[in-house]
Every structure is written in C-alpha cells, then in structure tokens.
Structure 1
C-alpha cells in the first residue's frame, strides 16, 4: 500500500489549520491538491473577483512547487464557480495567463451556490516528476 504524505507550501494560509485539511497529498507519483481559493494568508478572501482568481492560482502554484511540480505536471483540473455565467470570461482570461499553451490538462467546471465566502475554487491532480529529471520545463 502506498503511503500518503501531506504537502504544504512554505507560507501556509490559515484555512488549512482552521478547517483541518492538507494543502495536498502525495501518494506514489501522484499529487492530489485540495481546492485552492483566493485567500490571503489570514484566510480572508480577496474582495475583487479577478484578484481572487489570480490569488487562487498563486496558492495553487505554491502547493505544486512544494511538491516539486509546476502546472505542466497537472493532468486533471476541477474548478468551482458561484456564478459561472458571469465569471467564466474572467476565469478563462486568467487561466490563459496561468497555465500556458497546449497540451492542456482536462478541466471540469462546476457551478455551485456556496464556497464559504469565496467565488472561485480550483483543485488539481498532478503527476510528480521523478527527482533529477529534466522534462523540458
């Protein structure tokens, strides 16, 4: 049985302790990243939607980096939106800035009615590259 290992970024935000969850779990060569929201270090949300989305991606990048990954290692994305019809143009613009070009990971977007005070959340699964490999990133 593969042992699971918790992964946290260097500057953990307060939500991990407040709600009792890990930023990510490493299991074998897979990294399962918990939903990242646009929270400041104290756990409060960014008030402007685009800034909240950008901060969610920044939080995601920090978690990936803590496991030795980049967005190039991401194979599966799920995002949650409180008002998809009005938010998707902003999310897609930020996504284009953040994830680079093809090949793109698969992506599922889900409309929800509550995200604990946030309006956007993103979670991913990534394959952790072997140590010491040069995968062209």
Structure 2
C-alpha cells in the first residue's frame, strides 16, 4: 500500500486531524487539494460572504504554499456555492484578486444547498513544480 504524501499548512494541522481529512495530497507530479472554506482559526465560518471567500482563498494559498506551489500552478478548480443565483456575482467579484492572469485554470461551479455553515468552497488540482519529486 502506498503512503499518502500529505501536505499540511502551518498552524492548522489540528483542525484537519479533528475533521479526519488531509488538506492536500501529492501524487504523480500533481497536488490534490481538499475543498477550502472561509474558516477562522477555530474552524468556524466567517459570516460576511465576501470576507469568507477571501479567507477561503487565503486558506487555499496556505495549502499551496506548503507544497511549494502558487495559484499559478493550479490547472483545475471546482467551486461549490450555496444559493448561486443570489451569491455568484458577489463571490466572482473577489476572484480576480486571487486568480492571476490568463490563461486561467479550468473551472466547474456547482450550486449546493449546504456546506456545513459556509457559503463557498474551493478545491483545486495543481501541477507540482519540477523541483518537487513525487
């Protein structure tokens, strides 16, 4: 059996262990990142939607950084949005601050009814830099 090469961002390992999942796994030159939400240090949701989206991207960037990646290495994005008809435009107004320049990664947006108290979640797949050998 292969051992999972788990990536933990600084300071949040206890949160992931409590919830029993890995923030990211390196495999075959790729980084598979679990869905990131706009959670505060204690894991609770940031109540303001725009601030929650920004915090989700900051949490994502911390995971990417722990794997020596940036958002520029991201090739595929999936976002989950509660009530997308109401929230999409407000959420998408934040994206340019984190997305970078074209060419952009692929994206799939999924409307959902529940995200454990959150309104937005983002999960990505990134290509690991060539200097990372896994």
- Which TM-score applies when normalising by structure 1? 0.91
CA contact (8 A) 1:80 1:109 kept: yes
Unaligned residue ranges in structure 2 (runs of 5+): none
**Shift of residue 70 of structure 1?**
0.3
Unaligned residue ranges in structure 1 (runs of 5+): 133-137
**Shift of residue 3 of structure 1?**
5.1
**Shift of residue 79 of structure 1?**
0.3
1:51: which partner in 2?
51
Q: Which moved more, 1:87-96 or 1:122-131?
A: 87-96
Q: Which moved more, 1:11-20 or 1:121-130?
A: 11-20
- Please list every run of at least 4 consecutive aligned residues from structure 1 whose deviation after the TM superposition is greater than 2 angstroms: 1-4
1:120: which partner in 2?
120
Q: Distance in 2 between matches of 1:121 and 1:105?
A: 16
Is 1:72 the counterpart of 2:67? The answer is no
Instruction: Number of aligned residue pairs: give it.
Output: 132
2:130: which partner in 1?
130
CA contact (8 A) 2:49 2:91 kept: no
**Shift of residue 89 of structure 1?**
1.0
Q: Distance in 1 between matches of 2:28 and 2:9?
A: 19
Instruction: Give the alignment of 1:7-26 within 5 angstroms.
Output: 7-12=7-12, 15-26=15-26
Secondary structure in 2 aligned to 1:130?
coil
**Shift of residue 19 of structure 1?**
1.4
CA contact (8 A) 1:2 1:28 kept: no
Q: Distance in 2 between matches of 1:88 and 1:67?
A: 29
CA contact (8 A) 1:79 1:123 kept: yes
- Which TM-score applies when normalising by structure 2? 0.93
1:35: which partner in 2?
35
Q: 1:13 to 1:47 in 2, by over 3 A?
A: farther
Q: 1:6 to 1:13 in 2, by over 3 A?
A: closer
